[in-house]
Chain A
């Protein structure tokens, strides 16, 4: 069974540009979560999608946005990139809400903003 897959593995952008990161959940999982892992800051919750709807959002500015497609894959968009957006972006999926079930993580997309 394929795990959570993320693309691209690495992405280099310059300030002001836009970045798009993609995530495919484990087959059968309907919930997708996005986390930002910046150096020294641990994992910060970004977004939660379930059944195509945004269910919850972390404390990030509106230039961080995303969506979930009918096949439950998801896309994270970061507009007007800033240097501090450089981080590892982790996607996770689950069968149900994460408070009762396990989160399955992908290996992440490393975004570098120059």
Chain B
């Protein structure tokens, strides 16, 4: 069975600083990996996904993530944080052929001026 661990339930950064949200996964087969964002009182929106091929994945709003098989990681980064990035971020994993996403517990990103 697959699982996801997100390190840090809360991450605080200053506006303009680097954003790094950590995600480690466990899967018995090469996984599909996703990052979703949830703004207050809204549903989840897909930021980016890794299915295969290129290990560096670019998403919306300037976010990107790198799949590192040796580290079983899929950390999310953004070079410069904006106030509008404040939200909860969820990493998710799926085994190919097993059509259900397993989500991490989420990381709340706080951005201060």
Tell me whether A105 and B99 are in contact in the complex, defined as CB-CB below 8 angstroms, given that A41-B105, A42-B104 are known contacts. Answer: no
Interface string of B18-62 (1 = CB under 8 A from A): 000000000000001000100001111110010100000000000
CB < 8 Å neighbour of B101 from A4, A98, A108: A98
CA A96 to CA B32, docked complex, whole Å:
14
Q: How far is the CB of B23 from chain A (nearest CB, A)?
A: 12
Query: Is B15 close to A, CB under 8 A?
Result: no
B113 sits at the interface (CB 8 A) = no
Chain A 86-106 near chain B by CB (<8 Å), digits 1 or 0: 000010100011111011011
A52 to B99, CA, bound (A): 16
Interface of B is mostly: loop
In the bound complex, CA of A58 to CA of B101 (Å): 11
Q: How far is the CB of A105 from chain B (nearest CB, A)?
A: 3
Which residues from B are CB-within-8-Å of A56? 99-100
Beyond A99-B32, A99-B95, A99-B96, is A42–B44 a contact (Cβ under 8 Å)?
no
Cβ-based interface call for A45 (8 A): yes
Contact partners of B95 in chain A: CB under 8 A: 99
Number of interface residues of B (CB under 8 A): 24
* Interface contact A107-B43, CB-CB below 8 Å: yes
Q: Which of A33, A98, A107 gathers most chain B CB within 10 Å?
A: A98
30 interchain pairs, CB-CB under 8 A? A31-B99, A33-B101, A41-B105, A42-B90, A42-B106, A43-B44, A43-B90, A43-B103, A45-B101, A45-B102, A55-B99, A92-B43, A92-B44, A96-B99, A97-B99, A98-B94, A98-B100, A99-B94, A99-B96, A99-B98, A99-B101, A100-B32, A103-B44, A103-B46, A103-B101, A105-B36, A105-B43, A105-B44, A105-B45, A106-B43
Residues of B within 8 A of A (CB): 32, 36, 41-46, 49, 51, 90, 94-106
- A-side residues, CB < 8 A to B, are 4, 31, 33, 35, 40-43, 45, 48, 55-56, 58, 90, 92, 96-100, 102-103, 105-108
